[in-house]
Structure 1
């Protein structure tokens, strides 16, 4: 079984989660991305969030949330994505970068518009009353 190692930033406000839609995609994804060789969790996450949303994460505020795994969206059966999730504050103004088509705030009713691993995360957040 192949596993894709990804990091994700969980940003919640008013019972909603920050999500993005990449150019050419239909589904929304929690911001983040794949680790490059030698990168720490924070290095990966801060690089990906800068590339996608043009904001800087504050390392001292970063808190581990959990690890979630599911079938990878748009990949053959058996390819899994392992998503290591963190929250944390940031500086700057969130805005879509060149690879992101749309930035949105979603709640639990939007669960059908996200990837399989994001569905698991949405449910986990809902069970803890963190997502409306």
Structure 2
């Protein structure tokens, strides 16, 4: 039986590039976000996680789900999956690495091998729609 980890993530595009974050001690980039706390809704978790990780404030009224992706979990035992509900949202402030985040980057489709399985799937989908720079 597979273990499933629930996560939320923010999809933020800037000039055809996808915002991604790398945590301390990891090599791959991920979509910014994290796990909901007990009793927390997915939109509440997203607003909290983005404030903690990137120092920006998401407008709760604009948080909209766009896709849910299930993919193998990086660095976890075989069979562990991550189910990530991805959202868009308006924000105020400039994303800056905070807390567990070591680095942020704005990625193109050409950066896909530097990312987690979930982030690769999002990059592929955005590239297929023409919303992401290819290289």
TM-score, scaled to structure 2: 0.95
Q: 2: CA distance between counterparts of 1:69 and 1:130?
A: 22
Cα distance in 1 between the residues matched to 2:17 and 2:28: 17
Aligned to 2:9, what secondary structure does the other structure show? strand
1:77-121 deviations in whole A, cap 9, x for unaligned? 100000100011111221110311111100100000000111111
Q: Please tell me the root mean square deviation across aligned C-alpha atoms, in Å.
A: 0.8
Measured after TM superposition, the shift of residue 19 of structure 1 is: 0.6
Correspondence for 1:26: 27
Aligned to 2:109: 108
Q: How many equivalent residue pairs?
A: 132
Equivalent positions of 1:54-93 (< 5 A) are: 54-93=55-94
1-side partners of 2:14 and 2:95: how far apart?
13
- Name the TM-score, length of structure 1 as normaliser: 0.97
